[in-house]
Amino acid sequence: MIIGITDPMRDEATYAQYAALLQRWVPGVETQRLSCRTGTFLEIERCEALVIAGGGDIHPKFYGREEDAGLAKEVSVARDLFEFDIIREAMERGLPTLGICRGAQVFNVAMGGTLLPDLEAAGHPSHRRGDEGERMHGVTVAAGSFLRNIVEKEKGEVNTSHHQAAEKVGHGLRVAAVSDDGIVEAMEWEEPWEKPFLLLVQWHPERMGDTDSPFSRQIIQRFAGAVKSAYAQK
């Protein structure tokens, strides 16, 4: 089994965190880095699933707010375009997909959604990572959602390390969880029936200190199950 992971475009340890999380729950899995820097787009054809990793911001011009470009950080238009294409290809192939932080945001934009380019500038409390390490906050999971079915909880605590978030949710998506201050923290298919696994989360399951948290372990286990099913059907 091969799972594609988009390139976080940071140090090697960042990519390794995503790979290690998958290898823990999907023994023997191979990971394939998908990167605009190395031109590995066609490698998506080898993959049974896709993880869209975190990293820098999507350029605001892709969601109609080019005037807010100054609020964006670590922007790479080449990465944005590459990942829009990867998302389209993954959807056409019916690949189970997990979007993490930026991954959730870029999928939302790919589906015609918009982002708040900076939460603090928009008047919201900071969701950035703290100086002392991971910052945590509460989330409420929508009743009847796919995410609720996975975590089996209405409320929980997740880590947070972002300054952008979904504003208008993209076509075909719905909100699956919100933070205590009302920020979109997870999205999923609006009509998930007979569609491949899709979960988009703002938090970082690969960095959760509590590895037994249902907001980390149970999400990855369910994703792993979807990957195994996809592999068995090939």
Vertex 36, ends 80 and 231: CA angle to 5°?
95
Q: Is residue 111 predicted with pLDDT exceeding 70?
A: yes
Measured distance CA(134)–CA(120) in Å, rounded: 18
Model-level pTM? 0.94
Question: Model confidence over 138-171: pLDDT tens digits?
Answer: 999 999 999 999 999 999 999 888 788 999 999 9
The pLDDT, as a whole number, for residue 193 is 86
The pLDDT, as a whole number, for residue 161 is 82
Work out the pLDDT band at 132, boundaries 50, 70, 90: low
Q: Is residue 131 predicted with pLDDT exceeding 70?
A: no
The answer to whether 198 and 188 have CB atoms below 8 angstroms apart is yes
Average pLDDT over residues 33-45: 94
| Closest among 167, 184, 202 to 54, alpha carbons compared | 202
Q: Is residue 124 predicted with pLDDT exceeding 90?
A: no
Residue 89's φ and ψ, nearest 5 degrees, are: -65, -40
The pLDDT, as a whole number, for residue 121 is 77
Q: Is residue 127 predicted with pLDDT exceeding 80?
A: no
The domain defined by 2-232 carries CATH number 3.20.20.100: no
Measured distance CA(156)–CA(172) in Å, rounded: 26
Measured distance CA(205)–CA(216) in Å, rounded: 4
- Name the catalytic one among 48, 89, 101, 185: 101
206 is catalytic: yes
- The β-bridge relationship of strands 173-179 and 184-189 is antiparallel
> Within the chain, how many helices (H) and strands (E) appear?
5, 11
The pLDDT, as a whole number, for residue 212 is 87
Specify the 3-state DSSP secondary structure of 22.
Answer: helix
Q: What token pair was written down for 48? A: 């049974």
Q: Is residue 63 predicted with pLDDT exceeding 80?
A: yes
- Name the catalytic one among 83, 185, 188, 206: 206
59 is catalytic: no
191 is catalytic: no
What is the residue whose two structure tokens read 């969701």?
Answer: 127
What lies within 8 Å, CB to CB, of 213 at 6+ separation is 156, 157, 158
The one-letter amino acid at 164: Q
